[in-house]
Chains A and B, each alone.
Chain A
């Protein structure tokens, strides 16, 4: 498996280089843009002494290269300072930790579900190309693909949480299906906690999964229909292989290659979906935090959130590369 090692090593080196570039990019993105970030952030009308104090705290009074060195140092010691406006004075790390957990739960479950269901839907549609199953499945996928995530989430919220009242309207934890008063996390106990989380997660996950699923289903279907016209599929049929074998052993193995690549690329899209779903359901995660940070013009917080998201996408791409290696033997050569 030297091929594997070399391949992985090369990918890790790329990963590290890209990571460093992203960290630098994240710094300059907030400094090089037109518009004075420091003065957008600080509320107007403060006494000059207080303003200077804030500038000094965020190192904004120093020259750019010195700021950059301090920033690099802070990133590697995971010291992101305090939030500028969002609950003033609380360390950013403390703000972030519970939100990252919430978002990881939502995105993790949602992505796994949508990959599984999306590929299955695309597979069924592609295999039955031109039949009723294809038409139905693809019109379903196209409609969800064309619908902004926030619109679908809002309709779900309006119908199931608003009109019917079956699900909680907001929050990530607290209400129980049989007891609709909000509880604090300590009151609940471990079992009720899990039930409550699931109860709160249901609608966001449905909204998130259906939106992401649509894109994956479309890619899988297109890729599969391409592959099914290849000569080796005809060969496989001529050999007398069963439909199951043709589909799963020959067609899907090849059809999955572009799907994996596009899935990795569309993590940016996935994150957009998370942000919208979190805003609509007031689900207390990174997306809602981004929203709050933008509203409050809290650039230190926004910077950290962006860094985390960029790193998440980077890792997703790395994972996709490794999966690609297992799927496509040609990479080993």
Chain B
């Protein structure tokens, strides 16, 4: 605030009045009175104190070339702050006039600074009165005082490393500029420190801004520490994720594994066949195939007669078709990334220019509000990054809170469920069957040890175990599969063992041993073919359990957020309050999909159980 102690010009008092009126804008009458009073006081003050002199008598007219000093508003600053003193508000008619600005004050001795804008750092606490003297070449001068109150700095700085970055390996954008200059402090930040670990080396940068080239894929955490002049510090983290370039392997790893395995098995089969029989198909093969087809027909007939199992099978086939042809069935390509979040736009009333409100409930209206209920009309907003390639999606089952198409998400979700169900069960059956076979066939100490291990895993609470392992390993889809696989094998091991125990006493095993067959041959050719059909039903039931576990892990917040799955959709629906908002479409589709898929696997499993081993007690 400008002090009106001594001034040669009445303008100052006008300033004062203006300031007052600024401060109380809503009380116009009072302001008017105050303004009048202030002018009166100011004028009379100047009249009484003004030194005699002709040029000073003209109160309302400014003498040309005469400067009026203005040192700016009083400041309350923290210790060590670099204070800026500005005299640019100084009033002068003559812009080109060569004014001299001199700032004088006491700070452990007399200080004099020159210049229209000066900086000074107050290191001691206290109140400083700085006097600005403005002199023009004609030696006319004017002064103004500004009070700087320096107090102890109690506020720590705020570190701002900027937004998290997601980069793509091999793209042009891996060289990024990291900028901490948005960090703020009430006084002054004296040091920046960036610390991070990249490629097994620790890096430290002590500048606010630097460039770094993140070429290796991975997740990097950059720790920014800022220290202010009073030694208070703050830190913040910045995540830089460098995504690996999608390779053929990372895109299609599952398909590659499966087709390679099928190919290897086929080649081995053909080669051994040729070496043994010197022909690909012999007459005995034809006869065998005929018998197999006959027995398969018989089994199929029994299975057909189990109506529920048949229905389950048809539903399963539908799910598999859905998963395989997902891109053709869904309305939105890549539904996880195609978000319509920007679609949430208010409905503007053309008359008032404000957002329209519902006349009854007074709710604010949106042209499109996520989550959006199912609608047949295409959404009014285009999807797609390229203006030439806009598509207008029909959200026939509505959208979720993130503007993603629920129908397409559900279609794609079948993939995750089937992948988890099949691969996890494969792991579990491979583990369980090999342990059961070994324990049952070799018996004695092997049996004892393996069965104690199995019993131990059988009594482990496997739901909590899954949670613990996932919590330690992190949210990756591959871990979900592995964890479910390695926690669900003990029951298979027990069933296999009990079957092996009875089969290995049969005569054909003894005969095989008599003609000199080795253990490996007996297990592979005689025991396995007799045991595996019996665990087939159990396997199908395990699949439903695996799908279940995956949904549970997702709901627990331990699923992979980058993979579309029904469990994840439900978790998000729960998180975003779909259950309280009544967004039924968001819950109904994934919920029904899980129930139906698990149900159909269970139905098929029970039907197979009836067909394959009518007398077997499930343990």
Q: How long is the Cα–Cα vector from A299 to B237 in the complex, in angstroms? A: 22
Does B591 belong to the interface (CB within 8 Å)?
yes
Q: Once the chains bind, are B462 and A268 in contact (CB under 8 Å)?
A: yes
Q: How long is the Cα–Cα vector from A21 to B452 in the complex, in angstroms? A: 11
Does B235 belong to the interface (CB within 8 Å)?
yes
Q: Once the chains bind, are B472 and A35 in contact (CB under 8 Å)?
A: yes
B-side contacts of A113, CB under 8 Å? none
A-side contacts of B474, CB under 8 Å? 35
Q: How long is the Cα–Cα vector from A219 to B596 in the complex, in angstroms? A: 20
Known: A21-B456, A271-B463, A294-B471. Is A145-B617 also a contact (CB below 8 A)? no
Q: Once the chains bind, are A265 and B491 in contact (CB under 8 Å)?
A: yes
Report the minimal beta-carbon distance from B263 to chain A, rounded to whole angstroms.
31
Report the minimal beta-carbon distance from A98 to chain B, rounded to whole angstroms.
20
Q: How long is the Cα–Cα vector from A1 to B491 in the complex, in angstroms? A: 32
A 287-300 binary contact with B (CB < 8 Å = 1; else 0): 00011001101010
Q: Once the chains bind, are B579 and A162 in contact (CB under 8 Å)?
A: yes
Known: A22-B460, A34-B473, A45-B235. Is A272-B223 also a contact (CB below 8 A)? no
Does B467 belong to the interface (CB within 8 Å)?
yes
Report the minimal beta-carbon distance from A161 to chain B, rounded to whole angstroms.
10
**CB closest residue in chain B, given A151:** B591
Q: Once the chains bind, are A306 and B465 in contact (CB under 8 Å)?
A: yes
Q: Once the chains bind, are B615 and A226 in contact (CB under 8 Å)?
A: yes
Does B455 belong to the interface (CB within 8 Å)?
yes
Q: Once the chains bind, are A143 and B595 in contact (CB under 8 Å)?
A: yes
B-side contacts of A44, CB under 8 Å? 221, 223, 237
- Best-surrounded residue of B461, B548, B591 (most CB of chain A within 10 A): B461
Does B574 belong to the interface (CB within 8 Å)?
yes
Does B618 belong to the interface (CB within 8 Å)?
yes
**CB closest residue in chain B, given A273:** B463
B 350-385 binary contact with A (CB < 8 Å = 1; else 0): 000000000000000000000000000000000000
The listed residue (A22, A150, A223) touching B570 by CB distance below 8 A is A150
**CB closest residue in chain A, given B617:** A258
Does A30 belong to the interface (CB within 8 Å)?
yes
B 209-253 binary contact with A (CB < 8 Å = 1; else 0): 000000000000101010000000001110000000000000000
Q: How long is the Cα–Cα vector from A34 to B472 in the complex, in angstroms? A: 8
Does A313 belong to the interface (CB within 8 Å)?
yes
B-side contacts of A181, CB under 8 Å? none
Known: A294-B467, A306-B468. Is A145-B602 also a contact (CB below 8 A)? yes
A-side contacts of B617, CB under 8 Å? 223, 226, 258
Does B552 belong to the interface (CB within 8 Å)?
yes
Does A96 belong to the interface (CB within 8 Å)?
no
Does B619 belong to the interface (CB within 8 Å)?
yes
Q: Once the chains bind, are A18 and B455 in contact (CB under 8 Å)?
A: yes
Q: Once the chains bind, are B595 and A276 in contact (CB under 8 Å)?
A: no
B-side contacts of A145, CB under 8 Å? 598, 602
Q: Once the chains bind, are B599 and A146 in contact (CB under 8 Å)?
A: yes
- Which bracket fits the contact residues of B? 35 or more
A-side contacts of B461, CB under 8 Å? 267-268, 271-272, 306, 309-310, 312-313
Q: Once the chains bind, are B456 and A151 in contact (CB under 8 Å)?
A: no
Q: Once the chains bind, are B463 and A268 in contact (CB under 8 Å)?
A: yes
Q: Once the chains bind, are B619 and A275 in contact (CB under 8 Å)?
A: no
Report the minimal beta-carbon distance from A233 to chain B, rounded to whole angstroms.
14
A-side contacts of B591, CB under 8 Å? 147, 151
Report the minimal beta-carbon distance from B320 to chain A, rounded to whole angstroms.
18
**CB closest residue in chain A, given B558:** A294
Q: How long is the Cα–Cα vector from A148 to B615 in the complex, in angstroms? A: 30
B-side contacts of A291, CB under 8 Å? 556-557
The listed residue (A21, A45, A276) touching B552 by CB distance below 8 A is A276
A-side contacts of B455, CB under 8 Å? 18
B-side contacts of A162, CB under 8 Å? 579-580
**CB closest residue in chain A, given B223:** A45
Tell me the residues in window 554-599 of chain B with beta carbons closer than 8 Å to chain A beta carbons. Answer: 555-558, 567, 570, 574, 579-580, 582, 587, 591, 594-596, 598-599
Q: Once the chains bind, are A271 and B464 in contact (CB under 8 Å)?
A: yes
Known: A258-B618, A310-B461. Is A272-B552 also a contact (CB below 8 A)? yes
Tell me the residues in window 469-523 of chain B with beta carbons closer than 8 Å to chain A beta carbons. Answer: 469, 471-474, 491
Q: Once the chains bind, are B580 and A148 in contact (CB under 8 Å)?
A: no
Q: How long is the Cα–Cα vector from A40 to B458 in the complex, in angstroms? A: 29
Report the minimal beta-carbon distance from B469 to chain A, rounded to whole angstroms.
7
Main SS class of interface, B = helix
Report the minimal beta-carbon distance from B434 to chain A, rounded to whole angstroms.
21
Q: How long is the Cα–Cα vector from A154 to B570 in the complex, in angstroms? A: 10
Tell me the residues in window 262-282 of chain A with beta carbons closer than 8 Å to chain B beta carbons. Answer: 262, 265, 267-269, 271-272, 275-276, 279-280
Q: Once the chains bind, are A148 and B551 in contact (CB under 8 Å)?
A: yes
A 240-274 binary contact with B (CB < 8 Å = 1; else 0): 00000000000000000010011001011101100
- Best-surrounded residue of A142, A150, A226, A276 (most CB of chain B within 10 A): A150
- Best-surrounded residue of A25, A262, A294, A299 (most CB of chain B within 10 A): A294
Report the minimal beta-carbon distance from B583 to chain A, rounded to whole angstroms.
11
Tell me the residues in window 1-57 of chain A with beta carbons closer than 8 Å to chain B beta carbons. Answer: 18, 21-22, 25, 29-30, 33-35, 37, 40, 44-45
Does A317 belong to the interface (CB within 8 Å)?
yes
Does A201 belong to the interface (CB within 8 Å)?
no
Q: How long is the Cα–Cα vector from A312 to B456 in the complex, in angstroms? A: 14
Does B459 belong to the interface (CB within 8 Å)?
yes
Report the minimal beta-carbon distance from B100 to chain A, rounded to whole angstroms.
50
Does B603 belong to the interface (CB within 8 Å)?
yes
B 444-462 binary contact with A (CB < 8 Å = 1; else 0): 0000000000011011111
The listed residue (A33, A223, A295, A314) touching B472 by CB distance below 8 A is A33
B-side contacts of A269, CB under 8 Å? 463
The listed residue (A151, A154, A295, A305) touching B464 by CB distance below 8 A is A305
Does A302 belong to the interface (CB within 8 Å)?
yes
Tell me the residues in window 136-155 of chain B with beta carbons closer than 8 Å to chain A beta carbons. Answer: none
B-side contacts of A151, CB under 8 Å? 570, 587, 591, 594-595
Known: A222-B618, A226-B617, A268-B460. Is A150-B555 also a contact (CB below 8 A)? yes
Known: A162-B580, A276-B555, A297-B471. Is A258-B459 also a contact (CB below 8 A)? no
Q: Once the chains bind, are B237 and A45 in contact (CB under 8 Å)?
A: yes
Q: Once the chains bind, are A146 and B602 in contact (CB under 8 Å)?
A: yes
Known: A272-B552, A294-B471. Is A313-B574 also a contact (CB below 8 A)? no
Does A158 belong to the interface (CB within 8 Å)?
yes
Does A157 belong to the interface (CB within 8 Å)?
yes
Report the minimal beta-carbon distance from A135 to chain B, rounded to whole angstroms.
9
B-side contacts of A258, CB under 8 Å? 617-619
B-side contacts of A279, CB under 8 Å? 555-556
Q: How long is the Cα–Cα vector from A25 to B580 in the complex, in angstroms? A: 42
A-side contacts of B465, CB under 8 Å? 268, 306
Q: Once the chains bind, are B558 and A146 in contact (CB under 8 Å)?
A: no
Does B13 belong to the interface (CB within 8 Å)?
no
A-side contacts of B618, CB under 8 Å? 219, 222, 258, 262
Known: A143-B595, A154-B574, A291-B556. Is A275-B464 also a contact (CB below 8 A)? yes
Q: Once the chains bind, are A261 and B619 in contact (CB under 8 Å)?
A: yes
Report the minimal beta-carbon distance from B523 to chain A, rounded to whole angstroms.
27
Report the minimal beta-carbon distance from A280 to chain B, rounded to whole angstroms.
8
Q: How long is the Cα–Cα vector from A163 to B580 in the complex, in angstroms? A: 8
Q: Once the chains bind, are B619 and A262 in contact (CB under 8 Å)?
A: yes
> Could you pull out 21 A-B pairs where Cβ atoms are within 8 angstroms?
A18-B459, A25-B460, A35-B474, A44-B221, A45-B235, A142-B603, A146-B544, A146-B596, A147-B591, A148-B551, A148-B555, A148-B567, A150-B570, A268-B461, A268-B462, A272-B463, A275-B464, A280-B574, A305-B464, A306-B461, A310-B460
Binding site for A on B (CB under 8 A): 221, 223, 225, 235-237, 455-456, 458-465, 467-469, 471-474, 491, 544, 548, 551-552, 555-558, 567, 570, 574, 579-580, 582, 587, 591, 594-596, 598-599, 602-603, 606, 615, 617-619
Give the 7 A-B CB pairs with smallest separation, nearest first.
Answer: A272-B463, A146-B599, A146-B598, A268-B461, A268-B462, A33-B472, A158-B579
Q: A30-B472, A145-B598 are in contact. List 9 more A-B contacts (CB 8 A).
A: A33-B473, A35-B472, A45-B237, A148-B594, A150-B552, A150-B555, A162-B580, A310-B460, A313-B461
